[in-house]
Amino acid sequence: MRSFAPAFTLLLCALLGQTQQNSISSPHCRNIPGSPGYPTASVWNELNATVSGRLVPVVPSAKYCDSLPTGACTDAEWTSSEFRGMIPGAMNEVNWEQGYDLNPPSLCLRNGTTCGQGDVPTHSVEAETVADVQAAVKFSAAHNLRLAVKSSGHDFLGRSTAPNSLLIRTANFQNISFTESFFVGSKDMGSAVTVGSGVHANTLYLQSKANSKILVSPAAATVCTAGGYVQGAGHSALSPTFGLAADNVLEFYLVVASGELLQVNSVSHPDLFYALRGGGAGSWGVIVSATFRTFPTFNTSSNVIVLIAQNETVATSLAAVHAQHIFDWDSVHAGQYFVLAKNSTASDSVYILGLNTYLPNISINESMALFSPFMEAAMALPGVFLELQNYTYGDINDALFQTDDSVGSNAVLGSRLLPASTYRDSPREVGEALVKLANSGATEVLGHLVAGGKVAENANISSAVHPAWRTAKTHVVLVNTWDDTATLPEINALRKRFQTTQLPILREIAGPNAGAYSNEADLLEPNFQTTFFGPDYARLSAIKKKYDPQDLFIVGAGVGSERWDEWGLCRI
Ligand SMILES: Cc1cc2nc3c(=O)[nH]c(=O)nc-3n(C[C@H](O)[C@H](O)[C@H](O)COP(=O)(O)OP(=O)(O)OC[C@H]3O[C@@H](n4cnc5c(N)ncnc54)[C@H](O)[C@@H]3O)c2cc1C
Ligand SMILES: *[C@@H]1O[C@H](CO)[C@@H](O)[C@H](O)[C@H]1NC(C)=O
Ligand SMILES: *[C@@H]1O[C@H](CO)[C@@H](O)[C@H](O)[C@H]1NC(C)=O
Ligand SMILES: *[C@@H]1O[C@H](CO)[C@@H](O)[C@H](O)[C@H]1NC(C)=O
Ligand SMILES: *[C@@H]1O[C@H](CO)[C@@H](O)[C@H](O)[C@H]1NC(C)=O
Ligand SMILES: *[C@@H]1O[C@H](CO)[C@@H](O)[C@H](O)[C@H]1NC(C)=O
Ligand SMILES: *[C@@H]1O[C@H](CO)[C@@H](O)[C@H](O)[C@H]1NC(C)=O
Ligand SMILES: *[C@@H]1O[C@H](CO)[C@@H](O)[C@H](O)[C@H]1NC(C)=O
Ligand SMILES: *[C@@H]1O[C@H](CO)[C@@H](O)[C@H](O)[C@H]1NC(C)=O
Ligand SMILES: *[C@@H]1O[C@H](CO)[C@@H](O)[C@H](O)[C@H]1NC(C)=O
Ligand SMILES: *[C@@H]1O[C@H](CO)[C@@H](O)[C@H](O)[C@H]1NC(C)=O
């Protein structure tokens, strides 16, 4: 997927698109506006009629804002994932809408004076029925179009958008249905919920609370549990208790490249069931719904603790103390999100370590007792100050519910799964590495204690979940951001910063062959096949060939993408 010679590739597309359009073998390039095989307006109108008028033109989010009666989006709208979720062309990290690598680059910046279509699709089918999806899939295949699939637009690798593509958006798939006994074949799998692929996590938490249930779902407002989340693996603060989302999904309904709607579970198309659980978002078909195990709800103790370390030396000791104590909460299968950031606005730079921990079924007092060894060790370090500590107690659905996600910036990520053995053997080195990463220009270093416990116990489930999840303790993410004043060379350096600067630091502790979580990772990961998908990429490739022989569902750093250019427009 990596091509740094866009001009040449586009030229090749144009030439080969012309010479091969009538050939029976796979065409070299997708048809784009201007290619001879590209649908005419009347052909698009036929599709529009088939999908009951739900084919819409797509524009970048900045252009959408300009077209509002007020002439602009407010800051609150621009940064709201709930608001952006209503805009077909919007990505939550706006950089993915930009065509930095197109020749010439095609950008549409907020309040800008010019606006190019960039990497935003040309049309979207705002699907409401399975038949809409089937029509769009068949249309893409028949006209050799680049197809993109989106539910929330949260993707951190930009996989839900593509230039010159037809988008299928599943945001309207809002069905939710709870049952006490869900059958796979003749086997009763117990209580479960069937979730449309457009249902936001926050809606699901409200509904699961109303049904006195809980399920493994994201720590987010609008991420779609039955969209990209589960296909990547899907972690949660409840993963140490219940496992990954992919460990708890029982069935999918999915439209595959042929246009067929398939029921996919452990007995029906089990090979595809294997791939859909960890084999990567967007590579298999269009999910209509997925069914997840549910559990009786319970109360959780949650806490937020913010510590300040007054200089780098102190921060390193503090991060090491955290690494030493990270096993303290295993007895109750706690999940924790932590953030380490350098605050460079102060004249002396200080470091902030923030922890947000969920302890299922545990009272506030018990959770304070479980935190006291860590807190005592942390506060014993000269130069560490307690900024905030807040313990709360209540229903787990309420604890995980979020009203909105703050988005609308430019951001790229990079990540690694850190093995539990690293934490056991070398906590000091973990602390040192995290501080080096916080110094590496990253806006923040995010740690996720969402492995161990049930995630490790589930090691023998046969799915495409990367085996590194089963031995990991944490998932560590680097966030690199920029604002719209950055120049293209600066942006391109930032896009590569994880590979050039940060990954070497992570390798010191995670080892040279550590895995990474494909949903929160670097699109430019050179060896994504093993880093994201583990040792059995060949198995995923074979499943891909069987269900998607023409590579209709291609996403960056996804299965089969090595056959395509950066945009999924031409074979390489
Ligand atoms: C604020 C925030 C919080 C997050 N929290 C968590 C978390 O707690 N745990 C976690 O594991 N991850 C988390 N993530 C990462 C999240 O799992 C990924 O961003 C994921 O790709 C989002 O899926 P989506 O469908 O909502 O997004 P989209 O951008 O719409 O799609 C993402 C990918 O899924 C594909 N896709 C979308 N819909 C469908 C469909 N109907 N059928 C087939 N493919 C589809 C797209 O083609 C694309 O490849 C978070 C992300 C954000 C932005
Ligand atoms: C599809 O039809 C609807 C309703 O007739 C119309 O509003 C929309 O603009 C059409 N889409 C395109 C791409 O022409
Ligand atoms: C863009 O315009 C909006 C509305 O006028 C304003 O609130 C916002 O601050 C502007 N943003 C930038 C980046 O200029
Ligand atoms: C949603 O549920 C209704 C009622 O069960 C059903 O008719 C419809 O097909 C479902 N829609 C999708 C997209 O699954
Ligand atoms: C960073 O430091 C400045 C100045 O001390 C302070 O105002 C700001 O709130 C700090 N930022 C964070 C994220 O703590
Ligand atoms: C919470 O406690 C109840 C009552 O003891 C128990 O039935 C349930 O399984 C527990 N749930 C979890 C997630 O520990
Ligand atoms: C929790 O601890 C406080 C202070 O030690 C004590 O007063 C209270 O009774 C305890 N509550 C429970 C439920 O044990
Ligand atoms: C960092 O702070 C600690 C604690 O106050 C202090 O002992 C140490 O000298 C400081 N180190 C540097 C390099 O400033
Ligand atoms: C503690 O957390 C609760 C729940 O999130 C919140 O309502 C409350 O304002 C917080 N208190 C402080 C002091 O931050
Ligand atoms: C859960 O906590 C609430 C208070 O937030 C309390 O009213 C309720 O009884 C608790 N439920 C259980 C099962 O402990
Ligand atoms: C997985 O299966 C192997 C072979 O049966 C067994 O030795 C191992 O203990 C199992 N691992 C887990 C985590 O259950």
Within this chain, do residues 332 and 467 fall inside the same structural domain, yes or no? yes
The β-bridge partners of 410 are 482
Same domain? For 144 and 54 the reply is yes
Q: Is the CB of 383 under 6 A from ligand 8?
A: yes
Residue 22 identity: N
- The first and second tokens of residue 528, run together, are 């994504």
Which of 311, 318, 379, 439, when mutated, tests ligand 8's pocket best, judged by the most ligand atoms within 8 Å of its CB?
311
CA of 371 to the centre of ligand 10 (A): 22
Nearest CA to ligand 3 atom 8: 75
Number of domains in the chain: 3
| Residue 548, domain member (yes or no) | no
Q: Do 283 and 152 belong to one domain?
A: no
Nearest CA to ligand 9 atom 1: 390
Q: Are the C-beta atoms of residues 233 and 245 closer than 8 Å to each other?
A: yes
Same domain for 343 and 478, yes or no, is yes
Rounded-to-integer distance, Cα 375 and Cα 228, Å: 37
Q: Which ligand is nearest to the CA of 349?
A: 5
Q: Closest Cα to atom 4, ligand 5: which residue?
A: 346
Q: Which residues line ligand 9 (CB under 6 A)?
A: 390, 392
Whole-angstrom distance, CA of residue 152 vs CA of residue 150: 6
**Same structural domain, 291 and 338:** no
CB < 8 Å & 24+ apart, contacts of 53-56:
54/125, 54/126, 54/127, 54/128, 54/132, 55/123, 55/124, 55/125, 55/126, 56/88, 56/123, 56/124, 56/126
> How far is 52 from 135, CA to CA, in rounded Å?
11
**Ligand 6 center–CA 248 separation, angstroms:** 18
Q: Does the residue 19 lie in any domain? A: yes
Closest atom, ligand 2, to C-alpha of 57: 13
382 Cβ inside 6 Å of ligand 8: yes
Q: Are residues 90 and 209 part of one domain?
A: no
Q: What is the 3-state secondary structure (H, E, C) of 422-479?
A: HHHHCHHHHHHHHHHHHCCCCCEEEEEECCCCHHHHHHHCCCCCCCHHHHEEEEEEEE
Residue for token digits 């078909």?
285
What's the pLDDT tens digit per position in 428-462? 999 999 999 999 999 999 999 999 999 999 999 99
Within a domain: residue 540? no
Decide: 418 and 472 in contact? Cβ < 8 Å.
yes
> Is the residue at 497 inside a domain?
yes
Last residue of a domain, one of 245, 273, 296: 296
Question: Given the CA of residue 130, which atom of ligand 4 is nearest to it?
Answer: 13
The kind and range of the H/E element at 230 are helix 230-232
Q: What is the model's pLDDT at position 346? A: 60
Backbone angles phi, psi at 108, to 5 degrees: -140, 95
**Residue 564 placed within a domain:** no
What is the tens place of the pLDDT at every residue in 108-153?
A: 999 888 999 999 999 999 999 999 999 999 999 999 999 999 999 9
Closest-lying ligand to the alpha carbon of 58? 2
List the 123-126 sheet strands across, edge first. 55-57, 123-126, 165-169, 146-150
> How far, in Å, CA of 149 to CA of 94, rounded?
17
Q: Is 299 in the pocket of ligand 10 (CB under 6 A)?
A: yes
Q: Is residue 131 part of a domain?
A: yes
Q: What pLDDT is stored for residue 27 in this prediction?
A: 81
Domain boundary among 490, 510, 528: 528
Q: How many A from CA of 175 to the centre of ligand 4? A: 6
Distance in Å, CA 506 to ligand 8 centroid: 26
Ligand 2 centre from 51 Cα, in Å? 10
Residues 48, 79 within the same domain: yes
Nearest Cα to 375, choosing from 322, 446, 432, 428? 322
Q: Which residue's CA is the nearest one to ligand 9's atom 14?
A: 390
- CATH at residue 238: 3.30.465.10
Closest residue by CA, ligand 11 atom 6: 460
Any atom of ligand 1 within 6 Å of the Cβ of 555: yes
Q: Are 548 and 568 in contact (CB under 8 A)?
A: no
The total number of residues shown for the chain amounts to 572
SS3 category, 492: helix
Q: pTM (2 decimals)? A: 0.95
Pocket test for ligand 2, best of 56, 125, 132, 139 (most atoms within 8 A of CB): 56
Task: State residue 348's pLDDT score.
Answer: 78
Tell me which of 457, 458, 460, 471 to substitute to probe ligand 11's pocket, judged by most ligand atoms within 8 Å of the beta carbon: 460
Ligand nearest to the CA of 227: 1
**Residue 267 covered by a domain:** yes
Which protein residue has the closest C-alpha to ligand 8 atom 5? 383
- Which domain, by its residues, includes 56? 6-169
Task: Say whether both 217 and 311 belong to one domain.
Answer: no
Joined together, the tokens standing for residue 434 give: 């995290």
273 and 303 share one domain: no
366 and 480 together in one domain? yes
- Cα separation, 147 vs 133, in Å, equals 11
For tokens 């609008």, name the residue.
222
Main-chain dihedrals φ then ψ at residue 552, nearest 5 degrees: -65, -35
Pair of tokens at residue 433:
């590495």
For residue 562, tell me if it sits in a domain. Answer: no
Assess whether 142 and 265 both reside in one domain: no
Domain boundary among 148, 169, 190: 169
Buried/exposed 308-342: b ≥16 CB within 10 Å, e otherwise:
bbbebebbbbbbbbbbbbbebbeebbbbbbbbbbb
CATH number assigned to the domain comprising residue 392: 3.40.462.20
Of all protein residues, the one whose alpha carbon is nearest to atom 7 of ligand 10 is 394
Where are any strands of DSSP class E within 468-548? 472-482
Terminal CA-CA length for the chain: 8
Do both 328 and 291 map to the same domain? no
Most informative mutation of 301, 364, 365 for ligand 7 (most atoms within 8 A of CB): 365
CATH number of the domain enclosing 165: 3.30.43.10
Place of tokens 């060790």: 377
Minimum CA distance residue for ligand 11 atom 13? 457
Q: Spell out, as residue ranges, where the chain has pLDDT lower than 70.
A: 1-26, 346
Using DSSP, state whether 509 is helix, strand or coil: helix
